[in-house]
Amino acid sequence: MLVLGIETSCDETGVALYHTQRGLLSHALYSQTEMHGEYGGVVPELASRDHIRRVLPLISHTLDEAGFELRDLGAIAYTQGPGLAGALLVGASIAAALGFSLEIPVLGVHHLEGHLLSPLLSTPAPVFPFVALLVSGGHTQLMEVNGLGQYRLLGETVDDAAGEAFDKTAKLLGLGYPGGPALSKLADEFSRSGQPARFQLPRPMLHSGNFNFSFSGLKTAVLTLVNKQEMTQQIRGAIAYAFQEAVVDVLTEKSLSALAKTGLTQLVVAGGVGANRQLRSNLRYKAEKIGATVFYPELEFCTDNGAMIAFAGAMRLQSSEMSRQKLDNRFTVNARWDLEMQEMAPKS
């Protein structure tokens, strides 16, 4: 079956075609970051309007690239939430309209489920059960994943998400929006330059005895440093390095404890911060030492994309539970939506 995936939860319009026998056939992404960069953050109304402009041309493009036509589609999966309500509605309504006219099933997918299943698109892929570290701009969670739809929350951030902390800290360092990748680049350059570390930042909640995280204090610690120091490029690099080390340390230690607590040996890292090189190498190195394996999505599928939505939708459509579910033409979006609670999401 050919599944079209549509992702419009925030500032990326992602579209992909996944075939249940042939795998991922094509995908396309339009990032709005340049447009929002002018305002220092995502402007929801501009995001919705831009999704409207991009989504249909992207669908045509992915179909052309894979050599298919609309009438070949067997199902459509769209991001139902969580995210910006207006932006979500664009993907949901296009999916519903296409599904209605083509008389094919339309399925709402949880954005975080998309992220956490995305490493299954790569080879070698993890097999259930595994621990997932979800680190995006809006979420930081450790989950025990026992199967499709069987997610147990082990812990999460009590304040800022890891990506949000990267972005806010980058802003303090004058790195623009979205700052995560820029901050990470600066930190890596500092590290490669061989200069000694100049600052030591706290590791929040490292010994809290649970799997929760807190990153807002770290950002405040950076603010204190920024106010005290004369901001040369070198100092900026040293602060970026200290910040990245602190976040990576906490994420690594908590992920390894989650493996120990659950007795599982596979760790899946997903979400935008999963693109962070230092996090990837540190986790891989430490996990290997305890005989565990870390799985990442391809770099291009770490941040928001349509492939993860098409794939999660295809998995759900193939599962026996989904095939029994009655599909209809109503659609809804859930701007706030816990992954553990998704089976109970309101239908309309």
Name the residues that contact ligand KG4, by CB under 6 A: 10, 136-138, 163-164, 166-167, 178, 180-181, 184, 271-273, 275-276, 303-304
Is the Cβ of residue 138 or residue 306 nearer to ligand KG4 in the bound state?
A: 138
Nearest distance in Å: CB 169, ligand KG4:
10
Is the Cβ of residue 24 or residue 135 nearer to ligand KG4 in the bound state?
A: 135
Residues 6 or more apart whose CB falls under 8 angstroms from that of 245 comprise: 187, 197, 201, 278
Is the Cβ of residue 180 or residue 313 nearer to ligand KG4 in the bound state?
A: 180
Is the Cβ of residue 118 or residue 282 nearer to Zn ion in the bound state?
A: 118
Is the Cβ of residue 251 or residue 264 nearer to ligand KG4 in the bound state?
A: 251
Is the Cβ of residue 164 or residue 245 nearer to Zn ion in the bound state?
A: 164
Please tell me the distance from the alpha carbon of residue 153 to that of residue 141, in angstroms, as a whole number: 7
DSSP H helices, 161-295, are 162-172, 179-192, 216-228, 233-262, 277-289
Nearest distance in Å: CB 180, ligand KG4:
2
215 contacts 247 by C-beta, under 8 angstroms: yes
Please tell me the distance from the alpha carbon of residue 55 to that of residue 241, in angstroms, as a whole number: 38
Please tell me the distance from the alpha carbon of residue 119 to that of residue 300, in angstroms, as a whole number: 11
Q: Vertex 326, ends 323 and 329: CA angle to 5°?
A: 120
Which of ligand KG4, Zn ion, none sits in contact with 166, Cβ below 5 to 8 A by type?
ligand KG4
Which of Zn ion, ligand KG4, none sits in contact with 242, Cβ below 5 to 8 A by type?
none
Nearest distance in Å: CB 33, ligand KG4:
10
Nearest distance in Å: CB 125, Zn ion:
20
Nearest distance in Å: CB 200, ligand KG4:
20
Read off the tokens for 111: 């954005």
Nearest distance in Å: CB 271, ligand KG4:
4
Chain residues in the site for Zn ion (CB under 5 A):
136, 304
Read off the tokens for 220: 């405040």
Residues 6 or more apart whose CB falls under 8 angstroms from that of 263 comprise: none
Residue closest to 183 by CA, chosen among 165, 196, 200:
165
Which of Zn ion, ligand KG4, none sits in contact with 163, Cβ below 5 to 8 A by type?
ligand KG4
